[in-house]
């Protein structure tokens, strides 16, 4: 699989009074891209919830490099960089054309939906993430 990218347009509600994207909205864009990335692998909401699991963000490290502004067309990428039994890390970037605006590592943990304790992700999901990580 080539690198996953989700196109996003910046709307007024994404910006502050100066027309610049509010910093937390980059995380919202990344959440959408991770969700669509998982859906592209065959793991939409129904597939995940029917397994009795869910994913929570455990850690985020983000560098903001440049500002996006009102009406920009952005590309939000998602590519797994680490896959373990109960967690995976996704490298996510925000681009305006070829210009890198934000670069993040997002660690997601697989947890039981009710107890919210860590559980191993289903092997089919782990294998799909590993295949995507290895360019397959």
Residues serving a catalytic function are 16
Closest CA to 27 of 88, 70, 68: 68
CA distance 136 to 25: 30
Closest CA to 6 of 79, 75, 86: 75
Check: CB of residue 65 under 8 Å from CB of residue 98: no
Check: CB of residue 26 under 8 Å from CB of residue 67: no
CA distance 29 to 33: 6
């Amino acid at each position: 699989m080539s690198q996953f990218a989700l196109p996003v347009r910046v709307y007024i509600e994404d910006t502050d009074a100066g027309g610049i994207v509010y910093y937390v909205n980059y995380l919202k864009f990344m959440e959408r891209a991770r969700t669509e990335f998982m859906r592209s692998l065959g793991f939409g909401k129904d597939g995940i919830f029917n397994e009795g699991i869910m994913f929570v963000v455990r850690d985020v490290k983000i560098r903001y490099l440049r500002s996006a502004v009102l009406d920009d067309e952005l590309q939000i990428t998602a590519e797994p960089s680490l896959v373990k039994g109960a967690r995976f890390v996704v490298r996510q970037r925000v681009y305006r054309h070829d210009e890198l605006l934000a670069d993040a590592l997002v660690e997601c943990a697989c947890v039981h939906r009710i107890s919210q304790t860590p559980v191993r992700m289903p092997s089919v999901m782990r294998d799909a993430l590993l295949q995507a990580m290895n360019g397959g």
